[in-house]
Structure 1
């Protein structure tokens, strides 16, 4: 893996143009290049993110917040000419974060992103978008987002989708409404203006009857509600995204009891599965 270090986080508007203009699959191998850049925490931005995602005020950053710090780098990586798949249309299948040390008292950080693990899938191909966050002491936080690109033809047998077990020993913890404008609110704090989340009109251009909630908003909102169930460090939180949450919508969060390991489930009306997750100590 070769690494390119940028002086600052990328400027997003040109990257959106790049994403909009690329609609074709141009290859079947991932680039052997990662991107890094320094970032600093803006307390006002972090506070706005907390509010949109339902986190209480705290000296600790929300567990999902480093995704926001990395978004510009991820966009630059995924819209680069060397990247073979169009960004618009990628489907986020699952997300795992690992918090190695508490996310408190951090200000100057280094973020890195790269793609790896390209594999055949019954509907195309999957790859992992890997994000790391380091401070002066070393690795602080890392994440893997598994992405599906439909229509890619790779040699080899497609792997089956990983079957997530249905959580047992869970009970209802809380429920909340996902308002019609939550995609736009989340876009303002995350920089992620994917049309499928913004309005019914823009979502219909991509084959969705309504706008859908952002998967990482669903995860963040669930972790905010889980609160004291989760430790502040040495924890891995894994989710698989199932059926999207159509906006506006209402969901129910079920969870096992607080502890070092547990499971949670986000469901909609009629027991529709939106997200299934688990937490445990880092192995």
Structure 2
């Protein structure tokens, strides 16, 4: 919904909030990239695009201060990251955030937020659009006799690019690196109170780990090869776990030269329902085919 909003909701799109932040510590970048499975030497002069939640979350949270929803129930539905340029690691970050729209029905509200990060040379280097889902507890379930929708599954023919183990404390490690200390990611009793067997990994951690493994396995180690990464977080990734990165390539791009996106999943195995499902678009000229 945009323009005139229902009672209790602000006018949308909302105001753009802005902050100028100091350069990220190089030790943070090194430890974060290593946690994500990447090569820290690839980021000697730049900041990983997928690190944006570390500085973007606090400003994005301020865009929700007047929203009359139970935000303690919020779920991370997905994210799209567009890479328009690089972020130098020795320059201040210019960050803006706004609440773009709200899509509400009797069951849930989907909050679309956008965080833009740049520098003086690249003011819109990283554009991240995230979708937060707030359950509202209304009706709207399946009608009598209506078939239960089948979950999406990783195609059996998808290529496995990588496998890795996730430690029981992976959620705490990501929280310490990014500042996202939601207890469901690092405190087991809290996670169990919400119906999970144990702590669950941040969706953005899954995205970042997939990103770095795509860089290594699909794009020849080039940290600037990915142009966009668009994902949905489809089910909780309960820790500890063993997961794989799966890819299904698409036809080459059109006559404009723009590469077509590949389909990507993070899952336990081919044929399994994924934790993350999405598409990635990158410079295939530097990729392994």
Range into which the TM-score falls when normalised by the shorter chain:
0.7 to 0.9
Extract unaligned runs of 5+ from structure 1: 1-25, 154-160
Match of 1:266 in 2: 266
User: Which of these residues, 83, 96, 117, is aligned with residue 99 of structure 1?
Assistant: 83
Aligned position for 1:16 = none
**Cα drift, residue 255 of structure 1:** 1.7
Higher strand fraction: Structure 1 or Structure 2?
1
Give matches, 1:226-237, under 5 Å. Answer: 226-228=214-216, 229-230=218-219, 232=224, 235-237=227-229
Q: Which residue of 1 aligns with 2:245?
A: 253
Partner Cα separation in structure 1 for residue 235 and residue 152 of structure 2: 14
Residue of structure 2 in register with 1:240 after alignment: 232
- List per-residue Cα deviations over 1:2-42 (Å, max 9, x = no partner): xxxxxxxxxxxxxxxxxxxxxxxx94446733321011222
- Match status 1:36 vs 2:22: no
Work out the CA distance in 1 between the residues paired with 2:72 and 2:127. Answer: 24
Matched, 1:61 2:47: yes
SS in 1 for 2:210: helix
- Which aligned pairs between 1:76-115 and structure 2 lie closer than 5 A? 76-78=62-64, 80=65, 82-104=66-88, 107-115=91-99
CA shift at 1:281, angstroms? 5.8
The verdict on how the C-alpha distance between 1:262 and 1:224 changes in structure 2, with shifts beyond 3 A counting, is same
Q: CA RMSD in A?
A: 2.9
Question: Is the 8 Å Cα contact of residues 94 and 147 (structure 1) preserved in structure 2?
Answer: yes
Indicate if the aligned counterparts of 1:39 and 1:108 stay in contact, CA closer than 8 A: yes
1:170-198 deviations in Å (ceiling 9; x for gaps) = 31111111111011111101101101111
- Quote how far apart the aligned CAs of 1:113 are: 1.0
TM-score computed with the length of structure 2 as normaliser:
0.76
Report the alpha carbon displacement of residue 207 of structure 1 after superposing the two structures with TM: 2.9
CA contact (8 A) 1:133 1:141 kept: yes
Whether the 8 Å contact between 1:170 and 1:263 is mirrored in structure 2 is no
- CA distance in structure 2 between the partners assigned to 1:152 and 1:39 by the alignment: 38
* TM-aligned CA deviation for residue 111 of structure 1: 0.6
Whole-angstrom CA distance in 2 between matches of 1:177 and 1:47: 20
SS in 1 for 2:16: strand
TM-superposed CA distance for 1:51, in Å, is 2.1
Mapping of residues 43-54 of structure 1, within 5 Å: 43-54=26-37
Structure 2 residues not aligned, in runs of 5+: 1-6, 139-148, 253-258, 284-289
Secondary structure, in 3 states, of the residue corresponding to 1:271? coil
Whether the aligned pair in 1 keeps the contact of 2:112 and 2:130 (CA below 8 Å) is yes
Q: Distance in 1 between matches of 2:133 and 2:94?
A: 27
Q: Secondary structure at the match of 2:78?
A: strand
Matches within 5 A, 1:167-178: 170-178=158-166
Q: Deviations over 1:241-282 (max 9, x none)?
A: 111110111111112469843221111257131111211269
- Displacement of 1:121: 4.3
Is 1:125–2:109 an aligned residue pair? yes
TM-score using structure 1 length? 0.77
- Specify whether residues 105 and 42 from structure 1 end up closer, same or farther in structure 2 by C-alpha distance, changes over 3 A only: closer
Please tell me whether Structure 1 or Structure 2 has the larger radius of gyration of its CA atoms.
2
Task: Give the number of aligned pairs.
Answer: 247
Match of 2:57 in 1: 71
Go from structure 1 to structure 2 and tell me whether the alpha carbon gap of 1:233 and 1:142 turns closer, same or farther (over 3 Å shift). farther
